[in-house]
Amino acid sequence: MIRKRKSTTYAVLSTVAFTAMIGTPAIIAEAAIVFSGTTTVQGEIRITTPTQLTDQTGSGALNNATVILAPTLPVSSFDLTGINPANLVIENNNVGILTVSPAQNITVTLAPGVINSPAVIGGGIVTFVSPQTAPTNLTGVAPTVMDNDGKITGTTVAMEYRLKGAASFTPVTATEITGIVAGKYEVRFAAKPGYAAGAITEVLVPAYSGPPAIPVTGITLDQSNVADLEVGSGAIEAKKTVQLTAAVAPANATNQSVTWTSSNPAVATVSNTGLVTAISAGNTTISATTVNGKIATSAITVTTKTAVTSATITGTEQVDQTLTAIVNGDATNPTYQWQVADTINGPYTNIAGAIDSTFVVTAAQEGKFIRVVISGANESKVTSDSTTAITPK
């Protein structure tokens, strides 16, 4: 059954209903039906050979009339004879058949378009509506914490959005979309009476990047010069270590890590916490360096102090003779104290003023016993053997 109509142009929101007997295609032959904007179709629509299309604009654009489907349906739902599934373009000299199975409402945009002799197989309703442009001036804002508090600004309640790849859109309820994760979003104007859903604008909500870093501006050490480190031996341990402490500015700098180095590790080493340990006599510089190259230094001097380990007396044990105290040659800064006793076993008392390495025996010490106590570095102390009884001159 074929029914002819005069040339007709359908305006926005105009509706044309097609009916057919069960199992019998109804072919609606139009002299010229203008498809402008977006068309909502239920059922099956057949677009006959494009050579029957007439281009009222004279642009020849109908040779590549584009068909856009929304909402998107699986390609397997359609019989796309003569239509390229990639972009649903009606190709020249072919019959394009678009089958929606089962019948449901979809939106079809035919642009530009004057189509001669469209045919509808089965029942269907064609409603003409206007398209909408893609939204503009949308901005994605990254989350401020690890949670989902990203947003898109510049929206209106006329829009809808979805995370790219999601099945459905969510209506926008304010001038910004909040509480969303980072990712790519699709935003468009939602369908409304007389208008199909608009083209999509893709908006990127960046990933959370954390708070901005606060750089180090300087570094200082609590001691810029250390001159009392020692190596050696004695009754007590020599001062072999010193703790240096670094202060980074500002106090709230993001990365306050410090690297410690010694310019001469053979003299002194430094740990990763700033503990300096003397190794041998000499000089070195300890440096503390921040991650962005700020440096503070401390000059280190290490001296050697050797303990007193031996003490002997030489000379004639007689009044008016000189006695000499002999100490181990490597002793550091030894001091002397001569002592006297009435018996060889003492008790011994210090001789006033007798603090040199030599001692001249006086008549007061005749018949008595003399010894020397030598003190040295790190509280070392050695007492010599006693002389025999001092004889007269």
Where residue 347 sits, what CATH number does that domain have? Answer: 2.60.40.2700
Residue that finishes a domain, picked among 64, 98, 129:
129
Nearest to 161 by CA among 173, 151, 171: 171
**CATH number where 256 lies:** 2.60.40.1080
211: in domain? no
The reply to whether omega before 102 is within 30° of 0 (cis) is yes
In a domain, 164, yes or no: yes
Whether residue 212 lies inside any domain: the answer is no
Could you list the residue range(s) of the whole structural domain that residue 377 is in? 310-390
- Do 114 and 22 belong to one domain? yes
Residue 11 inside a domain? The answer is: no
pLDDT value of position 233: 63
Which pLDDT does position 192 carry in this prediction? 82
Q: What is the pLDDT of residue 218?
A: 96
Question: Does 27 share its domain with 117?
Answer: yes
Q: Is residue 16 within 8 Å of 125, Cβ to Cβ?
A: yes
Residue 24 has what pLDDT?
31
Residues 31 and 46 in one domain: yes
Domain end call among 110, 129, 148 = 129
Residues 257 and 175 in one domain: no
The pLDDT score that the predictor gives to residue 305 is 81
Number of domains in the chain: 4
DSSP string across 259-304:
EEEES-TTTEEE-TT-EEEE-SSEEEEEEEEETTS-EEEEEEEEEE
Note the pLDDT of residue 325.
Answer: 94
pLDDT of 161 reads 97
Question: What pLDDT shows up at residue 121?
Answer: 37
- Provide the pLDDT for residue 239: 77
- Residue entry with tokens 């099945």: 167
Q: Please check whether residues 39 and 120 belong to one and the same domain.
A: yes
Q: What is the pLDDT of residue 358?
A: 95
pTM here? 0.44
From CA 297, how far away is CA 183, in angstroms rounded? 48
Residue segments in the chain with a per-residue pLDDT below the cut of 50: 1-129, 235
Show which of 270, 303, 336 is a domain's final residue: 303
The predicted-structure confidence for 269-304, as pLDDT tens digits, reads as follows 999 999 999 999 999 999 999 999 999 999 999 988
Report pLDDT for 106: 42
145 in the same domain as 70: no
Answer whether residue 165 is part of any domain.
yes
Do 314 and 262 sit in the same domain of this protein? no
Is position 348 within any domain? yes
Residue 277, domain member (yes or no): yes
Residues 47 and 124 in one domain: yes
Do 121 and 153 have their domain in common? no
pLDDT of the residue at 242: 94
Q: Which two tokens stand for residue 21?
A: 């007997």
Q: Is the dihedral of CA 48, 54, 56, 59 positive or negative?
A: positive
Same-domain status, 190 and 249:
no
C-alpha 141/C-alpha 143 separation (Å) is 7
Same domain, yes or no: 280 and 350: no
